[in-house]
Homo-oligomer: A and B are copies of this chain.
Amino acid sequence: MSAPEITRLSTDQADFNQQLDNLLAWESVSDAKVNAIVDDILADVRARGDEAVVEFTNRFDHTSAASMVDLEIGPQRLAAALANLPAEQREALEVAAARVRSYHEKQLTDSWSYTEADGTMLGQKVTPMDRVGLYVPGGKAAYPSSVIMNAMPAKVAGVGEIIMVVPTPHGELNELVLAAASLAGVDRVFTIGGAQAVAALAYGTQTVPKVDKIVGPGNIFVATAKRAVFGTVGIDMIAGPSEILVISDGQTDPDWVAMDLFSQAEHDELAQSILVTDSAEHIEAVTASIAKLLPRMERRDIIQTSLQDRAAFILARDMDDAIAISNRIAPEHLELSVEDPEAVLPKIRHAGAIFMGRYTAEALGDYCAGPNHVLPTSGTARFSSPLGVYDFQKRSSLIMFSADGASEMGKVASVLARGESLTAHARSAEYRIKK
């Protein structure tokens, strides 16, 4: 295996912006054909419920379920999966779950209200959702850490019921995933996937209860189905390929930087690993580390392709230049592999998670640091946030006018309503004006 040829850019080159755009460009393949297939599945599940879900599952996942009863995993089975884990794995999972829980508890927000001088009360009431659905991919990409990261914020938010769906192609169950579901407090698990699982959660069937929101990653059929049911239920962001941007001051061990880039690249061929540094020598050193370390990696073929096709080494003029590039990319994962990351932090405007200092490998955050590993990808950190407790709560505005307050504000509302020619609004307000 030859070392990958990694794209090299410099912010000094005339076409840097265009080259960077090309590097970041990534198109999902949600074409008309996928849309049509998904629309048919959604309509069929909506019309026929369980029957359609069972048929699609048998067809796509090569199972032979007779009814939905065969596609549910009971709580005893989940608990057994947890109990039967090797002690080391079980303890690691418990440490991770406890740390994730503890961090997310800091995200809880309270209802609030205040009373004005005339007795009028205004406020905001915060309530958890009643029931949410958690999509967990099957097969290779079934990660127990994802179960914890998706379920725990809902649990901390106080969601009444968490319904998990996970496809089991050819009936293959992942014991670690079931154990994580038990540990995270998932209430019910159905072994269904694809657009049919999204439809079952969004519309409800005779067996699968209708949820209020669906979260969790999936393939293009799952993403397309989620986009289609948005509005009927809430959804989280539609995730693109995972990415890391490492800003290094050149003083971090190049082996560490190389391995951090690998940890992103090993996810899949579309994953993107970018190193930005103001040291040309550091780029050479990391290149040498990659050549040395790659042949020993178990997932070297995926890493090789990912680095070759999507990675980049970007030479910046200085650290401020490096930060400007990072803010433009708005990376999912940002490692500040520098001596004084706290000095850099105030200049960072957009990033899903910021890993500060040489010791803070992204991999620690993926599993057990505490913050969520479900993060905005593909530059969406410009406008969205890590998955959190706030994604499972919603707010209601509170307004309680005193007689005096209603009389005063009735006059203001009346003028504005008449300016908009909404005279029923005006009269409704005027009824509350004191004579």
Residues on A lying within 8 angstroms of B by beta carbon are: 88-89, 92-93, 95-96, 103, 106-107, 109, 112, 114, 120-122, 124-125, 127, 129-130, 143-145, 176, 212-213, 227, 230-231, 233-234, 237-238, 253, 255-256, 259-260, 262-263, 265-267, 297-299, 303, 341-342, 345, 348-357, 359-372, 375-376, 378, 380-386, 388, 390, 394-403, 405-406, 409-413, 415-417, 419-429, 431-432
Least Cβ–Cβ distance between A382 and chain B, in angstroms: 4
B425 touches A266 (CB 8 A): yes
Q: How far is the CB of A391 from chain B (nearest CB, A)?
A: 9
A352 touches B424 (CB 8 A): no
In contact, B349 and A400 (Cβ under 8 angstroms): no
19 sample A-B contacts, Cβ–Cβ < 8 Å, listed by A number: A89-B419, A93-B416, A109-B109, A145-B416, A230-B238, A231-B238, A256-B431, A262-B427, A263-B422, A266-B422, A303-B424, A348-B396, A352-B396, A360-B400, A361-B429, A363-B413, A364-B410, A369-B401, A372-B397
CB within 8 Å for A395 and B399 given contacts A263-B428, A368-B416? no
Contact partners of A386 in chain B: CB under 8 A: 395-397
> Which residues of chain B are near A265, meaning CB under 8 Å?
424
With A299-B423, A397-B372 known as contacts, the answer to whether A106 contacts B124 (CB < 8 A) is yes
Question: Which B residues lie within 8 Å of A127 (CB)?
Answer: 349-350
- In the complex, are the beta carbons of A397 and B366 less than 8 A apart? no
Contact residues in B for A262 (Cβ distance below 8 Å): 424, 427-428
